[in-house]
């Protein structure tokens, strides 16, 4: 399950805590920070559970405005009347169930963070909610874990909701919607019967996506020993997660009007993004021995610079001048963006993904890909992997129009990866002789 199987949203649980296992993060939209407290709605048809939640949430009254609904119908009534920042719902309920309720919320207010709280027995039903849900939490859980998860969600909203970014994105009329192709694939994946052939069939309907899939499958970065001629073969080799990520990114790249901002090099940005995605995936698969997170790393890599496309599209003249200044001074682009716009492409991209309701780790990784220390240095996080993959890709000097981003040496030292980085850099430069 592409985006649903990577990291834990509440990894900061104290050791030994019994209870809520924050499984499979899935997403988190971010909207401009609402005035006042975060509004949270809990929906559960078990009165005893509602009582427990009410008691547990009482100490949070200063921070959160929490409401409760007993059952799907009551929940639906409330969401029809007002918008909530977060909704936490049981899955299996008589009458209107969690999936139906979230479907309604998604249509009415897509920016609401949607969380399903389910028992292990409901897992097969939960799988059918992919795309509807931002986080899955598993019962039983401790209230502390639930609170920590909700705080994390609110924290992302806070982090991305700074005034300059709100001002900037508020001025970026009509941010792109989540691509149809991505939705179609995500919807197909909601059925456990969907095969990779079906995914290939959907992808094949779009010539641009098919072309990119074949290009990537045949690139040196993936290193398949034979030539790949068909989309269905490529889907088998690359995996559904990679195809889903491409279905998200490719429509944005192909829709870009290259005449709008001639100083912005869309083709080199595409190649750079695809290579960063492939490198990040490889780092997880081969060096970090974590194939579980490899698919999410690919998604983060392919989308990490998507904010550049938005800025080039929406503020073409200003962005052209920013790119020119970055090149003329040899200063990293994100620093010049910060100087003139008050926010960076990393934040703009993360903001877009948050609006689309994509997984929290993905949003964090994109937001922090130039500043991985923001995500902590205890363990190597997704942001760190994207940061390293970004820097590694730049060391190859394949895209002269893009100002390179050096690796954060302090971060490497703190994570104990300095020696590894050198090996990765050497291997990459030795074995990759052509670009995507
Ligand atoms: Fe970047
Ligand atoms: Fe980059």
Give tens-digit pLDDT for 151-182: 766 666 566 656 666 666 655 655 677 788 88
> What spacing in Å lies between the alpha carbon of 305 and ligand 2's midpoint?
5
- Among the bound ligands, the one closest to the CA of 390: 2
- Assign 308 a pLDDT band (cuts: 50, 70, 90): very high
Highest mean pLDDT among 170-174, 243-247, 286-290, 375-379: 243-247
Report which of residues 91 and 276 the model is more confident about: 276
Q: What percent of the chain has pLDDT over 90?
A: 42
In angstroms, what is the span from residue 384 Cα to ligand 1's centroid? 13
pLDDT above 90 (res 418): no
What is the pLDDT, as a whole number, of residue 10?
33
Going by pLDDT thresholds of 50, 70 and 90, the confidence category of residue 132 is: low
Confidence band, pLDDT 50/70/90 cuts, at residue 225: confident
Calpha distance 365→372 (Å, rounded): 8
Exposure string (b/e) for 55-94, b if CB count within 10 Å is 16 or more?
Answer: ebbeebeeebebbbbbbbeebbeebeeeebbbbbbbbebe
State what percent of residues in the chain have pLDDT above 70: 79
pLDDT band at residue 30 using 50, 70 and 90 as cut-offs: very low
Mean pLDDT of 385-403: 91
Smallest CA-to-CA distance from 296 within 244, 348, 221 is with 244
The overall average pLDDT reported for the chain is 81
pLDDT band for position 3 (50/70/90)?
very low
Residue 101: other Cβ atoms inside 10 A: 28
Tell whether the model's pLDDT for residue 193 goes beyond 50.
yes
DSSP string, 130-178: BTTBSEEEESS--HHHHHHHHHHHHHHHHHHT-HHHHHHHHHS-SPPPP
Q: What span, in angstroms and rounded, lies between the C-alpha atoms of 153 and 147?
A: 10
CA–centroid distance, residue 237 to ligand 1 (Å)? 28
Ligand with smallest separation from the Cα of 332:
1
pLDDT digits over 320-334, tens only? 999 999 999 999 999
Evaluate if residue 89 carries a pLDDT over 80: yes
Measure 390 CA to ligand 2 centroid, in angstroms.
5
pLDDT of residue 21: 25
Q: Is the pLDDT of residue 25 over 60?
A: no
pLDDT of residue 167: 64
Residue 267 is predicted with a pLDDT of: 94
Centre of ligand 2 to C-alpha 154, Å, is: 27
CATH class of 171-431: mainly alpha
- Write down the pLDDT at residue 172: 62
Average pLDDT rounded to a whole number, residues 372-397 = 88
The CATH fold of domain 2-160:
Rossmann fold (3.40.50)
- Give me ligand 2 centre to Cα 174, in Å: 24
Percent helix, strand, coil in the chain, to 5, is 60, 10, 35
Confidence of residue 307 (pLDDT cuts 50, 70, 90): very high
Ligand approaching nearest to the C-alpha of 274: 2
Mean pLDDT of 388-394: 95
- Distance (Å) from CA 147 to ligand 1 centroid: 32
Distance of alpha carbon 71 from alpha carbon 266, whole angstroms: 49
Q: What is 247-304 written as a DSSP string? A: HHHHHHHHH--TTT-TTS-HHHHHHHHHHHHHHHHHIIIIIS--HHHHHHHHHHHHHT
Q: Where are the domains of the chain?
A: 2-160, 171-431
Q: Does residue 104 have a pLDDT over 60?
A: yes
């Amino acid at each position: 399950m592409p985006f649903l199987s990577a990291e834990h949203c509440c990894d900061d649980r104290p050791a030994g805590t019994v209870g809520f296992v924050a499984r499979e993060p899935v997403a988190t939209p971010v909207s401009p920070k609402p005035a006042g407290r975060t509004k949270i709605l809990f929906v559960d048809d078990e009165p005893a559970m509602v009582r427990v939640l009410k008691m547990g949430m009482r100490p949070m009254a200063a921070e959160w405005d929490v409401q409760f609904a007993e059952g799907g119908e009551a929940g639906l009534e409330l969401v029809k009347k007002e918008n909530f920042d977060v909704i936490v719902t049981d899955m299996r309920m008589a009458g209107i169930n969690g999936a139906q309720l979230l479907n309604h919320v998604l249509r009415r207010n897509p920016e609401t963070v949607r969380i399903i709280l389910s028992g292990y027995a409901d897992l097969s039903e939960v799988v059918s909610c992919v795309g509807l849900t931002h986080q899955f939490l598993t019962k039983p859980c401790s209230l502390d874990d639930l609170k920590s998860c909700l705080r994390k969600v609110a924290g992302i909203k806070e982090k991305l909701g700074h005034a300059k970014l709100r001002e900037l994105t508020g001025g970026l009329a009509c941010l792109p919607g989540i691509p149809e192709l991505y939705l179609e694939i995500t919807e197909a994946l909601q059925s456990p019967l969907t095969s990779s052939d079906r995914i290939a069939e959907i992808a094949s309907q779009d010539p641009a996506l098919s072309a990119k899939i074949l290009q990537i499958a045949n690139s040196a970065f993936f290193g398949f020993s034979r030539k790949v001629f068909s989309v269905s073969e490529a889907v088998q080799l690359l995996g559904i997660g990679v195809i889903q990520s491409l279905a998200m990114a490719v429509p944005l790249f192909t829709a870009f009007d290259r005449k709008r901002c001639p100083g912005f090099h869309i083709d080199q940005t595409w190649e750079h993004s695809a290579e960063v995605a492939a490198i990040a995936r490889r780092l997880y698969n081969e060096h970090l021995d974590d194939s579980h997170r490899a698919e999410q790393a690919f998604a983060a890599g392919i989308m990490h610079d998507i904010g550049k496309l938005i800025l080039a599209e929406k503020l073409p003249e200003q962005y052209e001048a920013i790119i020119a200044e970055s090149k003329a001074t040899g200063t990293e682009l994100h620093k010049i963006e910060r100087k003139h716009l008050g926010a960076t492409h990393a934040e703009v991209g993360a903001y877009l993904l948050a609006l689309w309701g994509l997984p929290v780790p993905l949003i964090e990784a994109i937001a922090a890909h130039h500043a991985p220390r923001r995500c902590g240095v205890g363990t190597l996080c997704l942001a760190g992997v994207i940061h390293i993959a970004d820097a590694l890709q730049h060391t190859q000097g394949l895209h002269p129009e893009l100002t390179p981003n050096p690796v954060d040496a302090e971060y490497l030292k703190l994570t104990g990866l300095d020696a590894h980085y050198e090996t990765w850099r050497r291997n990459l430069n030795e074995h990759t002789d052509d670009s995507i």
